[in-house]
């Protein structure tokens, strides 16, 4: 398993070792000791699974008081996955990184607590699974505008398919008083 750091400290692309043979493939997606050795000492408490058609954009979502770390992977199709640093006082505040996650490349993206997450489906259909370090708390969730110019993501869909919640999302700066506080990078 390879752990590849990104430009944002704490956000890590995970490349599992894939064992292939005539039957198909096998890979390990999570191993506590290996993640801890790579500096990702997390305990996951909830798994989520979504299926979406091409052009669907989900996000940016985050929880504030009960910030979630997420380990995201595409088990079918391909997505453009994005993490945004939303920690008040962070030297990286508002910056983002993106990774292509697909059923073919088996890559995963670890997004630590204090970051918002979103993805856009680039294949005809995609299924995404992600593990969370906190349970979902709708009263603590914020939805940040996917097209916030201060974040500046170059999404692969010019006119994405959005939920009502994502369509009504607000710019990151409007949540500043609720955002998690930066406590240094790991």
pTM for this predicted structure: 0.96
Average pLDDT, the chain: 97
The whole-number pLDDT of residue 185 equals 80
Confidence of residue 154 (pLDDT cuts 50, 70, 90): very high
Residue 186 has pLDDT above 80, yes or no: no
The answer to whether residue 66 sits within a structural domain is yes
The stretch 7-21 carries a mean pLDDT of: 97
Task: Kindly report, residue by residue over 95-109, the tens digit of the pLDDT.
Answer: 999 999 999 999 999
- Reported as half-sphere exposure (CB side, CA atoms, 13 A), residue 5 has a value of 9
Residues spanned by the domain of 21: 2-175
147 in a domain, yes or no?
Answer: yes
130 labelled catalytic? yes
The residue annotated as part of the active site, out of 61, 92, 96, 106, is: 61
Structural domain contains residue 34? yes
Give me 115's structure tokens: 């970051």
Alpha helices in 114-157, H assignment, sequence order: none
Is residue 35 annotated as a catalytic residue, yes or no? Answer: no
- What is the pLDDT confidence band of residue 168, given thresholds at 50, 70 and 90? very high
pLDDT in tens, 125-146: 999 999 999 999 999 999 999 9
| pLDDT tens-digit readout, 65-119 | 999 999 999 999 999 999 999 999 999 999 999 999 999 999 999 999 999 999 9
CATH number at residue 47: 2.60.120.10
Catalytic pick among 35, 92, 106, 130: 130
126 within a domain of the structure (yes/no): yes
Q: Exposure of 69 by Cβ count < 10 A (0-12 exposed, 13-18 middle, 19+ buried)?
A: buried
Does residue 117 lie within any of the structural domains? Answer: yes
CA-wise closest residue to 123 among 157, 163, 154, 151: 157
pLDDT at 41 over 90: no
Asked whether residue 26 is domain-assigned, the answer is yes
Number of structural domains in the chain: 1
Strand order in the sheet with 96-102: 96-102, 78-85, 115-121, 57-63, 141-143
Residue 67 lies in a domain: yes
Q: What is the pLDDT of residue 184?
A: 87
């Amino acid at each position: 398993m390879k752990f590849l750091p990104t430009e944002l400290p704490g956000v890590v692309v995970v490349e599992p070792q894939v064992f292939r043979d005539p039957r198909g493939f096998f890979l390990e997606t999570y191993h506590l000791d290996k993640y801890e050795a790579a500096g990702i000492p997390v305990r996951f408490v909830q798994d989520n699974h979504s299926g979406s058609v091409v052009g669907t954009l989900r996000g940016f979502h985050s929880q504030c008081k009960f910030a979630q770390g997420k380990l995201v992977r595409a088990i079918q199709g391909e997505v453009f996955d994005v993490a945004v640093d939303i920690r008040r006082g962070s030297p990286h505040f508002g910056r983002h990184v993106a990774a292509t996650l697909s059923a073919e490349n088996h890559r995963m993206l670890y997004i630590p607590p204090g970051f918002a997450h979103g993805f856009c489906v680039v294949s005809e259909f995609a299924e995404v699974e992600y593990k969370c370090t906190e349970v979902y708390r709708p009263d603590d969730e914020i939805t940040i505008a996917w097209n916030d110019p201060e974040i500046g993501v170059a999404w692969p869909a010019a006119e994405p398919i959005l939920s009502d919640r994502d369509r009504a999302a607000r710019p990151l700066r409007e949540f500043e008083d609720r955002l998690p506080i930066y406590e240094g990078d790991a």
